[in-house]
A and B are shown apart, each in its own frame.
Chain A
Amino acid sequence: MAGLSEFELLGRVTIGQYLPTGSRVHHLDPRVKLVMVVLMITAVVVSHSLVGLALLLAAVVSGLLSARIPLRFALAGLRPMLPFLLLLALLQVVAIPQYGAGATVIWRWSILTVTDRSVLAGVLLIARFTVMVLGISLFSFSTTTTELTHGVEHLLRPLQALGVPAHEFALVVNIAIRFLPILAEEAERLMKAQASRGADFGRGQRNFITRTRRLLPLLVPLFLVSLQRAEELIEAMEARSYLGGKGRTHLIHLQARLSDYVALASVAGVAALVIRLSLTNADGMVWRWLTEHLL
């Protein structure tokens, strides 16, 4: 990314950032959004149909558009993962041959076999990843962390009767998310401080042990600083009489509206359709239609 210094980590990580555009998606009840994310993930994992994934992709992209998130920004979040992803897909294609009904071998070289189903599997892998990343990014772009933790806490509250520490859990998530940018800043500062003393965090094939040792000047202080912050936070919470989730009241109460139910219903519908599609041979049918009409 032009213009970013080698140390600006936060600029590259787009997952987890919040973009306030004030769209309708931003105003949806966070519980509904959480459930939608779960439905989407389920559909992605279950589906082995390209048609299904294409549908999900379309759904996610339309979600991004109605949330007024610039598509380029959302796609940029994929970039750091691209090399890893391509490698994985390549492995999938080349090293794990898929024989199944109607599989034809496309290429063979000594022990490596590539069938058309392997290629499909590779493409599916990339598609799944893309939909997941975009979907989760959409969620985080349109939901503040506080909405997230309120959503989680409200969803878990009925389970409190069964002994599930809903508030504690939500608090842990909240604090972790809140301190992530603070710790990232610390890490950046530490990297810069050690680089100023000639440390080289670089590249180059070195063995695992040396590479890990080079990270010690970062990890040890970061760990100590985190512990220190945790202690300070604990003191502050004790000073405000925190004694766990029992007996606490709440300032914020979530209330779902009609638009929330409508959104939930539509996403549930799409998820159901995608899951249904993977039980049929939708891909085969689409492929036949394409070959008949275009070739």
Chain B
Amino acid sequence: MTPPVTPLIRVRALGHTYLRGTPLEVRSLHDVDVDVCAGDVVGIVGPTGSGKSTLLQHLNGLLRPQDGEVWVNGVPLSDPAVDMRAIRQRVGLLFQSPEDQLFERYAGDDVAFGPRNLGLPAEQVRDRVRKALDDVGLPFAYKDRLIAELSEGQRRRLALAGVLAMEPQVLVLDEPTAGLDPQGRRGLLAVLSDWCAGDGRAIVLASHNMEDVTAVCTHVHVLVEGTVVLRGSPREVFCNADLLARYGLAIPAATEAMHVLRGRGYPVSTTVLFAAEAAREIEGLFGGRVI
């Protein structure tokens, strides 16, 4: 029997209230449990205002747990003696529209910001920049380009490189593909998949784009009004078409088609995510290949 894998990040009974103690307080999370193990790509889906961003900010200690606990590599984040900068190196967080946070003149300098903050010597900083740019598919020569001259897609990749240069174990992303065109989306998801294939790495991403979630995630948590209402593999979660529809969440067209066919009395499997699988099921209805 294989020993249980220690999660890289563990969240238990997490609760959070914004502006607690003031007349404007608002509860944003309650009783949230999440495990992130090496190799996982965890998707957090839910409507706007469900608390996704709040949850993500707990994973690298930007927000400290008010109720419950968050452990990063076994270290509890509620402990006031925790070295937050070490946590933030281990867990890298990329916010929404990260291209808006670039501040340097030259691309390379912005990517170098993180490693320099870690106090690394110049040679190592350079190596980190080179590797990070490579990871996101930008040539090393881009380090001397003016940020103002890059396209939006390139700037977003640059922002991602800035986080990858910290060499985190877990990469946390808030709506990584929002606003990108189809080509940009595909490129970014490919970058993320490649990165996650490395040893001992994991990704957590919040999204309301179902196509992204089905494309890359290994686990899905559905967050509604601050609490997890559904969790499992993408197949398991997207089976629950009615429940998800009630929460205003979309499911992949392939899954939806299967549900509708099943509702009309046809014997198809509803644990289908991709067009190819759905096509096979439909082919099955015709009794095999139709010539």
| Stretch in B43-51, B58-66, B175-183 with 4+ CB within 8 Å of A | B58-66
Interface presence of B21 (CB below 8 A): yes
- Contact assessment for B62 and A200 in the assembled complex, using a CB-CB cutoff below 8 Å: no
In the complex, chain B residues whose CB is within 8 Å of the CB of A217 = 101, 103, 113
- Contact assessment for B21 and A2 in the assembled complex, using a CB-CB cutoff below 8 Å: yes
Chosen A-B contacts, 14 in total, with CB atoms closer than 8 Å, are A3-B20, A5-B62, A19-B23, A73-B22, A186-B100, A192-B93, A194-B113, A195-B62, A197-B92, A199-B113, A219-B103, A220-B103, A221-B100, A221-B101
In the complex, chain A residues whose CB is within 8 Å of the CB of B92 = 196-197
Interface presence of A111 (CB below 8 A): no
- Contact assessment for B103 and A4 in the assembled complex, using a CB-CB cutoff below 8 Å: no
In the complex, chain A residues whose CB is within 8 Å of the CB of B19 = 4, 8, 10-11
Interface presence of A1 (CB below 8 A): yes
- Contact assessment for A193 and B103 in the assembled complex, using a CB-CB cutoff below 8 Å: no
- Contact assessment for A198 and B89 in the assembled complex, using a CB-CB cutoff below 8 Å: yes
Which residues of A178-221 have CB atoms within 8 Å of chain B's CB atoms?
186, 189-190, 192-200, 216-221
Size bin of chain B's contact surface: 20 to 34
Give the CA-CA distance A190 to B93 in the complex, in Å. Answer: 12
Which residues of B51-97 have CB atoms within 8 Å of chain A's CB atoms?
57, 60, 62-64, 66, 85, 88-89, 92-93, 95
Give the CA-CA distance A199 to B63 in the complex, in Å. Answer: 16
- Contact assessment for A196 and B93 in the assembled complex, using a CB-CB cutoff below 8 Å: yes
Given A198-B166, A217-B113; 20 other pairs, CB 8 A cutoff: A1-B21, A3-B20, A3-B21, A7-B62, A8-B19, A10-B19, A11-B18, A11-B24, A70-B23, A73-B22, A189-B95, A190-B101, A196-B62, A197-B117, A197-B162, A197-B166, A198-B88, A198-B114, A220-B103, A224-B100
In the A-B complex, the 10 residue pairs with the smallest Cβ-Cβ separation, listed nearest first, are A198-B117, A3-B20, A220-B103, A197-B114, A196-B93, A193-B101, A11-B19, A217-B103, A221-B103, A193-B95
Residues of B within 8 A of A (CB): 17-24, 57, 60, 62-64, 66, 85, 88-89, 92-93, 95, 98, 100-103, 113-114, 117-118, 162-163, 166
